[in-house]
Chains A and B, each alone.
Chain A
Amino acid sequence: MMTVAVKDGVKIWQRRDRNAQLAIWASWLAATALFVYCFQLISDKTIWAFVWDAPTQAGDLAARMVPPDWGYIRQLGRPIWDTINIATLGTVISVLLAVPVAYCAARNTTPSVTLVRPAALFIIVASRSINSLIWALMLVTIVGPGVFAGIIAIGLRSIGFCAKLLYEAIEEIDEAQVEAVRATGATAAQVTVYGIVPQVMPAFAGISVFRWDINIRESTVLGLVGAGGIGLQLNAAITQLYWTQVSLMLLVIIGTVIVSEWVSAKVRHAII
C-alpha cells in the first residue's frame, strides 16, 4: 500500500499509511519484548562462566580430535551397515504402512469422511509430532536395546511423513482418468490399480527415496539412546573421551550422509 504524504506543499512518497506503519511497529515491539523475555529466562538458567570459557574448551577439544584415529575405521563397518539397515528397513516398513493410511486419509478415496479420515489424520499427526529419537527412547524400554528398536522407531516416525505427502498426491490426481477406468465397468479394486496407482506411482517412489535419505541422517543418532547403529559407538567414544575416534566417526557420518543425499537426488531426478 503506498501513500503520499503532503508536507509543506511537497509530496513525499511513503511505503505505508500511518495505521499500517503503527501496526507493524507494534508487532516488532511485541516480538522483541517476547524474545528478550525468553532470552532472559534462558540466561537465568545458564552458568555464564562456562559460556565464556567455551572458546578455550572448543580449542582444547579440537586439539584432542586431530588426527582422527584412522585405524579404528576397521571396526566401523558393522555399525555403518546396521545404520543403513535401520534406515532402509524402517523406510520399507513405514512405506508399506503409509499406503493404507494415505488411502484412508485422502478425501477422494477414503471409505468414510466422517469416521475413517479423522482417524487416519490423527495417526499421521501423532507419528509426525514425535521425533524418531523419542520413539526410539520408548521402544528401547519396551523391546530392549538394539537394531530392532531403531528399525521400528524409524518406521513409526516415517509413517506420518510418507502418508501425508502420499495422500496429498492422491488428492491431486486427475479424476478424468479414474472416471474413464470406471466407465469400462471396472470394479473398485481395478479402478484403484489402473486409475489411481499409475498416477501416484512417481510421487510414491520420490517420497520413499526422500524419506530414506532423511532416515539415514536420523539413524546415525538413534544409538545415543541404545537403538543400534553408529550412534552406539559414538556415544561410547564420547563417554570414554576417545576424541580421535569421535572425529573419525563424525567424518564417516558426514560421508554416509553425503552419499545418501547424492543417491536420493539422482533417483528423484530419474523419476521426475
Chain B
Amino acid sequence: MSIAFAGARHWKKPPLIKRAWLRWTLGLGAAIYLALAFGTTEVNWTRVWEGLPRGAQFVTAFFPPDFVKRWDEIVEGISESLWMTVVSTVVGIAISIPVGIGAARNIAPAPVYYFCRAILAFSRSFQEVILAIFFVKLFGFGPFAGAVTLSLATVGFYGKLLAEDIEDMDAAQAEAVRATGASWLQWINFGVQPQVMPRMIGLGLYRLDINFRESAVVGIVGGGGIGATLDTAFERYEFDSAAAIVLVIIVIVMLAEYSSGYLRRWVQ
C-alpha cells in the first residue's frame, strides 16, 4: 500500500508483484514473447475463411444430431470405452498399490523408494496418446492396447497420490499398531490403510472418470473405444453422426462426474 506524498492523500491499489523491477521485467518479457509468438505463427487465413461454412455446418449438425445412422457403431464404441475404463482402472489401481507403498519415503527402505519413484516418474512422463501409439504397435489395434495405456497412466496418477498420502499420515497411529507386535502386513492393513482409505476411494472414482474421458482419445490412434468411431465420422465428414458421438460423450462424462461426486461424498 503506498500513499501519495502531498495534499489530499490518495490510495493506490497495491500491485500483485511487489518488486518493481520484477514486475517490469515480467511485463516486458511477456510483451516481447507475445509479439514473437504472433509474428511467427503461420495462420492460413484464407483456409480458415473457407472453413467457416464447414464450421457452421458442424454447429448446425447438432440440431438435431443423427443418432440413428451410425447407432450400432456408437454403441459398440461406447461399450468398448466402458470396458476399457473398468479394466484399466482396476488393473492400474491394483498395480499402483504396491508401487505407491514402495514410493512412500516414511515406510519404504531407500532402494525400494528410488525404484518405485522411478516407475512413477516414467509412467507420468508421457502423454497417454504417445503411450497408446507404442502399445498399439506392440499389441495390435483394439481395446487391449488402450486398456494397457490407461492402466499405465493410472499407475502414475494413483501411485503418486497414494505415496503422498501415506507420507502425510499420522505416524502415531501406525506406531501404536506396530507396538502391539503386528507383522508387516498387519501393520499396513490396520495402521496405514484405514488412514488413507477414504481419500483413496475418492481418488479411485475420480480416476475412473478420467479414464473414461481418456478412453475417448486413445481410440484416435487405434486403441479402440469411441475415439475410433469419432475419428471415422470426421474422416467421412459425417458431422451429424460426429455431433451425436460428442453429445453421448458429454452426457456420459457428466453422469460419471455427478455420480462419482455423489459416491465420494457418501464414502467420506
Contact = CB atoms under 8 A, between A and B. Distances in A.
Contacts of B48: 143-144, 148
A221 B139 contact: no
Interface of B: 13-14, 16, 33-34, 37-38, 40-44, 47-48, 50-52, 54-55, 58, 79-80, 82-84, 86-87, 90, 125-127, 129-130, 133-134, 137-140, 142-144, 147, 213-214, 216-217, 220-221, 224, 227, 230-231, 234, 237, 242, 246, 249-250, 253-254, 257
Q: How large is the interface on A (under 10, 10 to 19, 20 to 34, 35 or more residues)?
A: 35 or more
Contacts of B143: 42, 45-46
A47 interface: yes
A142 B58 contact: yes
B8 to A, nearest CB: 16
Interface stretch (A49-57, A97-105, A106-114, A171-179): A49-57
Given A61-B137, A221-B127, A144 B47 contact: yes
Interface stretch (A16-24, A31-39, A66-74): A31-39
B125 A38 contact: no
Contacts of A46: 139-140, 142-144
Contacts of A142: 51-52, 54-55, 58
Contacts of B217: 131, 133-134
B139 A141 contact: no
Given A46-B144, A130-B249, A141 B237 contact: yes
A198 interface: yes
Nearest to A61: B137
A137 B130 contact: no
A41 B79 CA distance: 10
A81 B127 contact: no
Contacts of A45: 80, 142-144, 224
Nearest to A198: B13
A159 interface: no
B234 A42 contact: no
B87 A39 contact: yes
Contacts of A125: 250, 253-254, 257
Cβ-closest 9 pairs across A and B = A129-B253, A50-B140, A144-B47, A38-B83, A46-B144, A142-B55, A54-B138, A221-B129, A38-B86
A48 to B, nearest CB: 9
Main secondary structure on chain A at its contact with chain B?
helix
Contact of B130 (A39, A61, A138, A221): A221
Best-surrounded residue of A47, A89, A137 (most CB of chain B within 10 A): A137
A51 B51 contact: no
A73 B24 CA distance: 34
B40 A250 contact: no
A57 B138 contact: yes
Nearest to B47: A144
A201 interface: yes
26 contacts: A35-B90, A42-B84, A42-B143, A43-B144, A45-B144, A46-B142, A50-B138, A61-B134, A61-B138, A81-B40, A85-B40, A89-B41, A125-B254, A128-B253, A129-B213, A131-B213, A134-B216, A134-B227, A138-B242, A138-B246, A141-B234, A143-B51, A146-B44, A151-B41, A198-B14, A257-B125
A144 B37 contact: no
A233 interface: no
A214 to B, nearest CB: 10
A147 interface: yes
Given A46-B140, A129-B249, A137-B231, A144 B220 contact: no
A165 interface: no
A121 B221 CA distance: 31
A138 B224 CA distance: 19
B37 A224 contact: no
A166 B50 CA distance: 36
Given A134-B217, A143-B51, A143-B55, 18 more contacts: A35-B86, A42-B143, A43-B144, A45-B80, A45-B224, A46-B139, A46-B143, A85-B37, A85-B40, A134-B249, A141-B237, A142-B51, A144-B51, A151-B41, A194-B13, A221-B127, A253-B126, A254-B126
Nearest to B243: A138
A126 B254 CA distance: 9
Interface in A234-267: 234, 238, 250, 253-254, 257-258
A99 to B, nearest CB: 15
B42 A146 contact: yes
A238 B131 CA distance: 13
Contacts of B52: 142-143
Contacts of A220: 127, 130
A131 B80 CA distance: 18
Contacts of A47: 140, 142
B221 A224 contact: yes
A217 interface: yes
B246 A134 contact: yes
A258 B90 CA distance: 29
